[in-house]
Amino acid sequence: MITFDNVTKKYKGMSVPALDRVSFTVDAGAICGVVGLSGAGKSTLIRCMTGLERVDSGTISIGGVSISALTGAELRQAQRNLGVVFQHFNLLSQRTALQNVMFPLEVAGVARNEARDRARELLDIVGLGDKLNSYPSKLSGGQQQRVGIARALATSPKVLLCDEFTSALDPINSKSILELIMRLNADLGVTVLIVTHQLSIAEQSCDRLIVIDEGQIVENGPAKDVLESPKSRILRAMVTTLTWS
């Protein structure tokens, strides 16, 4: 469902590439974790995958569509196959929960009534059926992230990309948001890629685990195996230090 084929990305003025010949695949319906420390290349991986940055070489495809080769209207069309959940929620502060979830449908040209019905249904699924007309400022962090998840699912994407989605939440809310993602994966069959520096998140939810360090993949395998016998210097360090928090 997600394929990275030899992806390299180097920023102007940097001596080493942010992503260095990265290749991996994620099967449809899986939950895959990408872990690494700050500066390892996680953010670049997300920015390339979402089309915010162009790759220098290699291809990224999502659901068979090579997103890294597209620009303009074709790229915008392809982006609707990918829902993104953000660390800081990134909700529109001047729109209600319902209007926020309607946003991706509006820009896709879906009729207003249809968009409203779909948004209502999604907010019901994430447990916010009674907060349709609340503005983000009146919602808790956990509730805002639920709106973010509903919004990410609005265009019925095949892939849900979760970018440090629990880092801004307390442990209780983190857990319930993670459980929601796992339930959505089971119920809707959406493929999930969780990018995080928190090993505990990956351990609780992921079938597969990829570890990146200095722009390269250093581990890639079933999550259980990778965590039981970490081979890379970086994962050993993460396992034995504070990143379990």
Partner 1 sequence: MLIRLIWSALLETLLMVGAAGAVSIVLGVLVGAGLVFFSDPALGRNWPVNRYLRLDQVLSAIVNVGRSLPFLVLMVAIIPFTRMIAGTSIGTKAAIVPLTLGAIPFAARVVENSLREVDRGVVEAALVMGASPGQVVFKVMFPEALPSLVLGFTLTLVSLVNFSAMAGAVGGGGLGDLAIRYGYQRFRTDVMAATVAVLIVLVQLMQWGGQALSSTVDRRR
Q: Which structure tokens are listed for 164?
A: 């440090």
For partner 1, which is the closer residue by CB, 41 or 51?
51
Among 8-16, 73-81, 114-122, 237-245, the segment contacting partner 1 (CB under 8 A): 73-81
Of 189, 227, 190, the C-alpha closest to 208 is 227
For partner 1, which is the closer residue by CB, 56 or 106?
106
Task: Choose which of 17, 33, 36, 51 interacts with partner 1 (CB under 8 A).
Answer: 51
Which residues share a beta bridge with 161? 84, 193
Q: Which structure tokens are listed for 25?
A: 């695949």
Task: Choose which of 21, 88, 116, 120 interacts with partner 1 (CB under 8 A).
Answer: 88
Phi, psi of 84, deg, nearest 5? -120, 130
**Contact between 120 and partner 1 per CB under 8 A:** no
Among 5-13, 16-24, 32-40, 88-96, the segment contacting partner 1 (CB under 8 A): 88-96
What is the DSSP code string of 202-222? HHHH-SEEEEEETTEEEEEEE
3-class SS of residue 193: strand
**Contact between 66 and partner 1 per CB under 8 A:** no
Integer Cα distance of 165 and 147 in angstroms? 12
**Contact between 243 and partner 1 per CB under 8 A:** no
Q: Which residues bind partner 1 (CB under 8 A)?
A: 50-52, 73, 76-77, 79-80, 82, 84, 86, 88, 90-95, 103-104, 106-108, 135-137, 151, 155
